[in-house]
Amino acid sequence: MFAEYSHYWQKTLDWEPTLAQDLSFQKVYDLVLEGNKIQNLTRIVAIADFWEKHIWDSLRGILPLWSQENLKVIDIGTGAGFPGIPVAIAHPTWHLTLLDSTHKKTAFIDHLCASLPLNNVTSLTGRAEQLNSVSSHYRNYDLVLVRAVGNADLCAQYSVPFLKKGGVVILYRGQWSDPEQTSLEHTCKPLRAKFTYLDQFLTPLSLSMRNCVHISYV
């Protein structure tokens, strides 16, 4: 199904999925399409778009941390499981908590993980701004992933409290501007956080600009 895009893995990530990982990505696609019949999981259903915008994009966003092992990660506003599910498939030593405020979405995540099967994922229903002060989550993660969820300043405010010292938030963005960056830098100061890196790249099929904003808790 995704075979015609396989050469992009090595070219863009210097990595190739195993056969088992590739089959898992394809099964994710099948399960999301099946789940779409019951609830609105995604409007991206064409094979090429799904591979680029959900599978590849999820993994390209974490490329600067690719070589790290045993990370504890939370994916905020995961929806149908992106970027968390592809990341969990590609990085079996990482443990991912997939957070969404909608129980139907986290129930789908549970079904997907049981079907793959995928053992390094835990689903969590709730809101980040409430859970980030709970002792089991506060300052408990190496990495926070936030993809296509709201204003960057607001994302920083509810994401940084999840981080351990030295941990990183990655905000997946389409467009990014200098005023947004200036505002984010101001927002980070009282959080004892710092804007550290802007990872800009083009997607391999549609050549769309993507920006991943890195915030470190210092």
DSSP state of 215: E
The burial of 36, by beta-carbon neighbours within 10 Å (0-12 exposed, 13-18 middle, 19 or more buried), is given as middle
Residues 6+ apart with CB under 8 A from 97: 73, 74, 75, 121, 122, 123, 124, 141
Return the pLDDT at 187: 97
Domain count, the chain: 1
Return the pLDDT at 44: 94
What CATH number does residue 189 fall under? 3.40.50.150
Could you report the average pLDDT of every consecutive run of 10 residues in the chain (218 residues)? Answer: 92 96 97 94 95 98 98 97 98 98 97 97 97 97 90 96 98 95 97 97 97 97
Helix (H) / strand (E) element for 33: namely helix 19-36
Residue whose C-alpha is closest to residue 169's, from 197, 209, 203: 197
Q: Rounded to whole angstroms, how far apart are CA atoms 201 and 181?
A: 17
| Residue 196 domain boundaries | 3-217
DSSP structure string for 93-142 = TSEEEEEES-HHHHHHHHHHHHHTT--SEEEEES-HHHHTTSTTTTT-EE
Residue whose C-alpha is closest to residue 54's, from 19, 5, 11, 14: 5
Q: How many CB atoms lie within 10 A of CB 106?
A: 20
Phi, psi at 77, each rounded to 5°: 70, 45
pTM for this structure? 0.96
